[in-house]
Structure 1
Amino acid sequence: MLHVADIQENKEAYIQALKKRNFNATEVFDKVLSADEKRRNTQTQLDNTLAESNKLSKEIGTMYKNGEAKKATILKERTGKLKEDSKNLQETLNKTIAELETLLYTIPNVPQESVPAGTSEDDNEEVFRKGDVPVLAEGALPHWELAKKYDIIDFELGNKITGAGFPVYKGKGARLQRALITYFLDKNIDAGYTEYQVPLMVNEASGFGTGQLPDKEGQMYHVTNDDLYLIPTSEVPVTNMFRDELLDEKNLPIACTAYTPCFRREAGSYGAHVRGLNRLHQFEKVEIVRIEKPENSDAALDGMVEHVKGILDELQLPYRILRLCGGDLGFTASLTYDFEVFSTAQDRWLEISSVSNFKTFQANRLKLRIRDKEGNKQLAHTLNGSSLALPRVLAGILENYQAEDHIKIPEVLVPYCGFDKIELN
């Protein structure tokens, strides 16, 4: 979330930068500045009214002591009017603050200069590619058919238990899933991330803190009786561990990792591109989150990108990295790199990780600040990335490692799985 002061100081620059997102900020900025002026004027009137009321109250006390009850009674009528005025002004102030906050919540993060302009994923910029796409034998299968053939994922059973988008992993499919989770966590821990186990539901304040609310409200599962939300990613509870915190800069950076199931309604998602593991309502993901000093966050983002690259190199999957254009950039991000694995059987790229720098956008909502050694305070920078999202990584392994009568397990995962191939029963 932007500060009003930032908008005042950088209005025209922000308007131009937000055009990369195809977001016309002129009207909303004018409304923000108008609401802020009203807030400040109302606050001044309230302060003056309260000050006058307090002054008169002291004078009334003195008058009663001096036996000037008649004069005191006249002033009491005036203080009664001032109290009514202050009540009305406080209500106006509260309403104006709420309106201002609502306006600020509608403004997406300002893209960094390196973000390319564009309207959709077709305008994303490929910045890196590695790995040869394997040549599969004739009749190679997509992962949902491989899952059925080798009896490792049952989509129909999940549909019976819950509904579409809730698969059941079984046998070596479940063991491979567990192996990937442990492998990802081990890689993150070895890179200096501290592991956390966090709640799978969050309150509304947490959703607002990291920017899922109100922007993605329709995509989150809402437990209405308790007013809690199932998490779309562990980024939400992990980052909110630091909400309303003042951190000493000597304790930065803070690097966290967590494995959780994730839940997304994915409303309106239909078609062949969402078959099998391509798009789920419940899926597993290992996440990394960083809290950084502002001057270090760009380098931290580069380090996170290199970290995810190292994991994909070990899995020996063909992948590419995209710098997202403004039209495809997430609401809260200032810069995002997407990792995509090539699905040979589907002949398409599958997104398996997003690594983003949010700058101060989340920290402003979270009231997450840093105190330097001189005692000065400033907003922290937050970053997060998938390391990694399991469904499409698993899809890529099944499809790219398939042979005529088995599926090979990537060498780095064999110690975690306890087997080197999946064969027909």
Structure 2
Amino acid sequence: MMDGMAPFLVANEGRGGNTMLDLKKIRREPDWFKEKLATRGVKPEAIDEVLTLDAKRRELLQETEALKAQRNEASKKIGEAKRNHESADEAIAAMQKIGGQIKALDEQVAQNDEVLFDKLAHLPNVPHEGVPVSLTEDGAKEMRKVGEIRHFDFEPKHHWDIGENLGILDFDRAAKVSGARFVYYVGLGAQLERAVYNFMLDEHMKEGYTEMLPPYIVNAHAMYGTGQFPKFKEDVYQVNGEDMTLIPTAEVPLTNYFGNEVIPAEKLPVYVTALTPSFRSEAGSAGRDTRGLIRMHQFNKVEMVKYTKADQSWDELEKMTANAENILQKLGLPYHVITLTTGDMSFTASETHDLELWMPAQGKYREVSSCSNCLDFQARRLHMQYRDENGKLQYVHTLNGSGLAVGRTVAAILENYQNADGSVTIPEVLVPYFHGITKITKENAVPFNRQK
């Protein structure tokens, strides 16, 4: 539970509340929520606890209102007594007693709200109809395969071996400086990373995205608004005690951009994109992807975020997925698109399409992008709204997607474009970013390694 968050529930509950799920809808359809959230591992008792706390809250508020009415009556009697030059001692004593009772009830409401808010904050988004039901990643639905898998006439190497042999990836020196799961990109390795993310940004801007350069450190409220807090605090790097956090994804500052605002309806949908580093502690990933660029504590990612009207978000999810696919298609990298299961998609998502790249040395697909429709889940927390055609305030829908994870894309390029002699051919669309260089070799990879 984050200090200072529960008052938002009190202040805004009548307007839908700054809770991730609509509390009034939970009251109306508790069994539906139990059924849907059970597919995400939420026990029915969690909904019962919310309803019990909600009922207690409303009961306390009714008692408070009744006492306030009594206090108003006592205040009138005091006024009448003074006008009539009569003793008001009895009425004053009564008002003081009632004031103490109201203060005690207010404290009970605040305590109840703290617990209620915390329970609601740990409930994930409701999965959309048609999302494969499973509490694990098994059962994801493949939507399509794109691109031809290359058949090598030699044993393909892992990207970390290719990069280390060329001298463009240096994990050992990074470990000396920062520890495991960090890397130095060197020479044409750094240039490849830069070429990849510049290409991604250029492509997204062609599709109508506005490029942004957001803050890399955000406050707790921003992390809460997009759903990383309170449940996933162990996955991030916090600075300045617990007040500020290094962003785990640009989704956080981008989605928070319109927080507590009413976006003019004629502006929607809004598309934004940004390149930022992402910082993740990778808690719980011990023993997984310990080598290479797949699971790093710091990595670059190009993010896409959309704000839409309620009736636009599903079409926009398909467009966003196509925006991510466009990058892979132009890079000539084979991939497939899957719809994640209820238990495998992110906490805030109602439906997620993952793009997974083919990694020849591993002989399997690895995730490079997740495109998710969060519906109004984040907007409720951030209080982002627009006015519909009738002038009524509605919550915007938010979507986010990697466009793409840069390091994983670089890893796929190294593996899919490797040559028998250890060199790597640069994808055609990236050659302009290399000023004519078409291949990374030992001779040109790292200038300071050349013989003088």
Name the TM-score, length of structure 2 as normaliser.
0.91
- Where 1:126 maps in the other structure, the secondary structure is strand
In structure 2, the partner of 1:44 is: 62
Q: CA deviation at 1:386?
A: 0.3
Q: Contact 1:342–1:349 at 8 Å: present in 2 too?
A: yes
Q: Deviations over 1:62-121 (max 9, x none)?
A: 21121102xx10111101101100100110111111211111011111100110111322
Which position in structure 1 is the counterpart of 2:323? 307
2:145 to 125, 129, 145: 129
The whole-number CA distance in structure 1 between the counterparts of 2:274 and 2:364 is 29
Is 1:165 the counterpart of 2:181? The answer is yes
Deviation at 1:186, TM superposition (A): 0.7
1:15 has 2:34 as partner: yes
More displaced 10-residue stretch of structure 1: 46-55 or 278-287: 46-55
C-alpha deviations, 1:352-395, integer Å up to 9, x for none?
A: 00000001111111111111243201111100000000111111
Is 2:154–2:420's contact at 8 Å kept on the other side of the alignment?
no
* TM-score, length basis structure 1: 0.97
SS of 1:326's partner is coil
Tell me if structure 2 keeps the 8 A contact 1:21–1:329: no
Report deviation, 1:237: 0.6
Amino acid at match of 2:64: L
Which residue is equivalent to 1:34?
52
Residues 93-104 of structure 1 aligned to structure 2 (within 5 Å): 93-104=109-120
Aligned to 2:200: 184
* C-alpha deviation, 1:143, in angstroms: 0.6
User: Which stretch has the larger CA shift, 400-409 or 369-378?
Assistant: 369-378
1:359 to 375, 387, 397: 375
Which of these residues, 267, 270, 278, is aligned with residue 262 of structure 1? 278
Alignment of 1:48-87 (within 5 A): 48-69=66-87, 72-87=88-103
Q: CA deviation at 1:215?
A: 1.7
SS class of match (1:123): coil
Partner residue in 1 for 2:104: 88
- CA drift of 1:10 comes to 2.4
Q: Percent identity?
A: 40
Any conservation in 2 of the 1:215–1:331 contact (CA below 8 Å)?
no
Equivalent residue letter for 1:387: G
Q: Which moved more, 1:5-14 or 1:401-410?
A: 5-14
Give 3-state SS (helix, strand or coil) of 1:247's partner: coil
> Which of 22, 25, 38 in structure 2 is aligned with 1:6?
25
Q: How many Å separate the matches in 2 of 1:29 and 1:81? A: 37
| 1:217-228 superposed matches below 5 A | 217-225=233-241, 227-228=243-244
1:331 matches 2:350: no
Distance 1:59 1:74 in 2: 9
Amino acid at match of 1:94: A
CA distance in 2, matches of 1:271, 1:50: 60
Task: Give CA-to-partner distance per residue, 1:264-293, whole Å, 9 cap, x none.
Answer: 000132336341101100000000000111
Residue in structure 1 matched with residue 426 of structure 2 by the alignment? 409
Query: Matched residues in 1 for 2:38 and 2:152: separation?
Result: 43
Aligned to 1:140: 156
* Alignment size in residue pairs: 422
Residue 128 of structure 1 deviates from its aligned partner by 0.8
Once the two structures are superposed, what CA deviation does each residue of 1:313-360 show, in whole Å capped at 9, x if it has no partner?
A: 101001001100112111110000010001001212111000000011
Residue equivalent to 2:447:
none
Deviation at 1:246, TM superposition (A): 1.4
Deviations 1:220-265 (A, max 9, x none): 1111436101100000011011111112211111111011000000
Unpaired runs of 5+ residues, structure 2, are 1-19, 444-452
| Match runs of 1:269-288 below 5 Å | 269-271=285-287, 273-288=289-304
Equivalent position of 2:439 in the other structure: 421
Equivalences for 1:236-251 in 2 at 5 Å? Answer: 236-251=252-267
Letter in 2 for 1:48: A
Aligned partner of 1:113: which letter?
A: E
Q: Which residue of 1 aligns with 2:449?
A: none
Secondary structure of the 1:331 match is coil
Instruction: Name the SS for the 2:368 alignment partner.
Output: strand
Amino acid at match of 1:110: V
SS of residue matched to 2:343? helix
SS in 1 for 2:39: helix
Distance 1:264 1:311 in 2: 24
CA distance in structure 1 between the aligned counterparts of 2:327 and 2:319, rounded to whole angstroms = 13
Partner Cα separation in structure 2 for residue 86 and residue 104 of structure 1: 26
Matched letter for residue 22 of structure 2: H
1:132 partner letter: E
Indicate if the aligned counterparts of 2:200 and 2:302 stay in contact, CA closer than 8 A: yes
Letter in 1 for 2:50: V
Greater mean deviation of Cα atoms: 369-378 or 330-339? 369-378
Residue from 223, 227, 239 that aligns with 1:207: 223
Q: Equivalent residue for 1:107?
A: 123
- Code of the residue aligned with 1:410 in structure 2: it is P
C-alpha separation between the residues in 2 aligned to 1:342 and 1:122?
Answer: 18
Report the 3-state secondary structure (helix = DSSP H, G, I; strand = E; otherwise coil) of the residue aligned with 1:113: coil
Cα distance per residue 1:299-325 (max 9 Å; x no partner): 000111111111111010010011001
Aligned to 1:116: 132
Query: Is 1:347 equivalent to 2:367 in the alignment?
Result: no
Contact between 1:111 and 1:334, CA under 8 Å: does it hold in 2? Answer: yes
Gaps of 5+ in 1: none
In 2, Cα distance between equivalents of 1:408 and 1:271: 31
Moved more, 248-257 or 50-59: 50-59
